[in-house]
Amino acid sequence: MSNGTSTSDESRDLESASSDGQDDRSRVQTSEPKGGPDENGKPPSSDGDGTQFKVDDPLFSQRKGIFQNKEMVRVGWVPDGDRIVGRDGYISTISSCLNDAVYGGAPNHISITGKTGTGKSLVSRYVTRRAVNASVEDIRIGHTYLDCSKSSTEVQVISTIGQQLNDEDIYDEDEDIVKMPDTGLPKDKFYKRLWQILDHYDSAIIILDEVDLLKSDHVLMSLAKAVESNDTSCQIGIIAISNQINFFDELNPRTKSAFQTQELNFDPYNANQIQEILRGRDDAFRDGVLTDDVIPLAAAFSAQEHGDARKAMRLFRTAGELADREGSDVVGEDHVRSAQDTLEKDRFRDFLQGTPTQMKAACLSISAKSLCSRDDYVITGELYDAYQQITNAIDMDTIGIRRFRDILDEMQLSQVIETKEVNMGKGGGRHNSHRLLHNPETILDIVMEDTRFREISKSSLKRFA
Ligand SMILES: Nc1ncnc2c1ncn2[C@@H]1O[C@H](COP(=O)(O)OP(=O)(O)OP(=O)(O)O)[C@@H](O)[C@H]1O
Ligand SMILES: [Mg+2]
């Protein structure tokens, strides 16, 4: 039972995000694993499928490997609708917004925020696809998906939308096909051509993913006002997605007034939901290789830190890869722990690479606190004290509390820590309190790779806490 689609490029046409069709099912079952590059652009490893371990010499036993369809635990793999877990409420709200488009009417615009890996792109593409498939006879719905990290200028957005919608089938035989180049026209000509293309549709759903990366929000306003301004007769519904929670509040007022949306904020997944998401992929592994603890433990780690399905998937896959590499017949709890450790170190190394020493000292201070205190959360003032002791001990410049707060903000944005406001009761006032989202030991290992911190040892760290 291996339904679903593998797509290495999440910005591909929605065709590949199909989540309900038989087509995808047969595609995956009858073909070799697609094995496109993963989200890091790396080619798939050759041990992706158990069958690839085949050895021709009968003297040697066949090793089956851990995976039977490793594609399913790749991040780019798009699950079918019945494997989209815990997002029913959002699916239903988005479908209500798009409902009128199915009949050729005007869909409502939607703005979606939420942390990374919470299913924003997946769910938007899934529901859009369903709306397009559901459209009543003679109603033509256009749909496009745009990753604004790749098309960020106004002209790029307009020409990409135009190109994606510019299907030969929308034209009558005697009609000239509108040409939509990448560059080389004045901006208003690009718009004009887009309106001409859109006129061939009754309605269009335009997904603008990572919309905060647009160079200007003017394009949002133009698209949202197109019908009102008589630019096109096509009813446009925009689904704009961002993982910056305040992005839509901070749009310029004219755009905001044209772009009235249904707002949705996707919650991080909890441990139960992540368990279900991982169970939906367990046929990536050969029958019986997953011990009972693997999924609950991977889900617990993931929920505790971030509630990000993408990272949970990476953990699940890495645990399998580690087991595979050491020739084990099963994936056990230890593999999940090692995978967690490896991934955490990688993430942290990436994060700290190139950051100023001050950031490293701040990381050390929260690790020291977290190692020594029973309370998970530490208020800014206490952290700052620990930080000062550390910088004094290694004879390093000490920054002021305001800059220290900026560093904490940066750590929060990068999901190194989680911050909440606490009320310390009468006279105590309100304070920001921070919790480390990683294993302090891991952080110490990485920070101490920097020779400037060599005078500090794990055991000496406790005196700074
Ligand atoms: N509810 C879910 N059920 C099953 N798989 C999921 C679910 N949510 C996310 N995933 C998996 O996690 C991957 C990442 O999800 P998605 O791309 O939708 O996250 P996102 O919220 O758009 O994150 P980002 O802000 O980083 O773009 C999906 O491709 C899918 O494999
Ligand atoms: Mg996304």
Q: What does the H/E/C string look like for 336-353?
A: HHHHHHHHHHHHHHHHHC
Say what the pLDDT of residue 424 is: 74
387 annotated as belonging to a binding site for a ligand: no
Q: What is the pLDDT of residue 344?
A: 86
Among the atoms of ligand 1, which is closest to the Cα of residue 280? Answer: 4
Determine the residue type at 410. Answer: E
Question: What spacing in Å lies between the alpha carbon of 118 and ligand 1's midpoint?
Answer: 5
269 is in an annotated binding site: yes
Mention every residue, 6+ apart, whose C-beta is less than 8 A from residue 249.
none
- Show the tokens assigned to 208: 């603008």
Q: Is 187 one of the annotated binding-site residues?
A: no
- CA 457 vs. chain centroid, Å, equals 36
231 three-state secondary structure = coil
CB of 237 shorter than 6 A to ligand 1:
no
| Ligand 1: residue whose CA is nearest its atom 9 | 119
Measured CA to CA, the distance from residue 297 to residue 291 in angstroms comes to: 11
Whole-number Å distance, alpha carbon 120 to ligand 1 midpoint, is 6
427: left (phi over 0), alpha (psi -120 to 50) or beta: left
Measured in whole angstroms, the distance separating CA 269 from the mean position of its chain's CA atoms is 12
Substitution site in 16, 80, 87, 310 for ligand 1 pocket (most atoms within 8 Å of beta carbon): 310
- What is the pLDDT at residue 15? 35
What is residue 63's predicted lDDT score, i.e. its pLDDT? Answer: 63
Q: What's the Rg (C-alpha) of the chain?
A: 26
Please give the distance, rounded to the nearest whole angstrom, from the Cα atom of residue 117 to the centre of ligand 1.
5
Q: What is the pLDDT of residue 264?
A: 97
Residue 77 alpha carbon, nearest atom of ligand 1: 31
Question: Would you state the pLDDT for residue 213?
Answer: 94
Q: Which domains does the chain have, with CATH numbers?
A: 5-80+270-351 (1.10.8.60), 87-266 (3.40.50.300), 354-464 (1.10.10.10)
Question: Would you say the CB of residue 4 lies under 6 angstroms from ligand 1?
Answer: no
Task: Give the closest ligand to the alpha carbon of residue 276.
Answer: 1
- Closest ligand 1 atom, residue 273 Cα: 1
Q: Does residue 90 have its Cβ closer than 6 Å to ligand 1? A: no
With the most atoms of ligand 1 within 8 angstroms of its CB, the residue from 5, 92, 121, 207 to mutate is 121
Q: Which residues of the chain have pLDDT under 50?
A: 1-3, 5-52
pLDDT value at residue 422: 84
Q: Which of 18, 122, 208 to mutate to test the pocket of ligand 1 (most atoms within 8 A of CB)?
A: 122
Ligand approaching nearest to the C-alpha of 75: 1
Cα 360 to ligand 1 centre (Å): 31
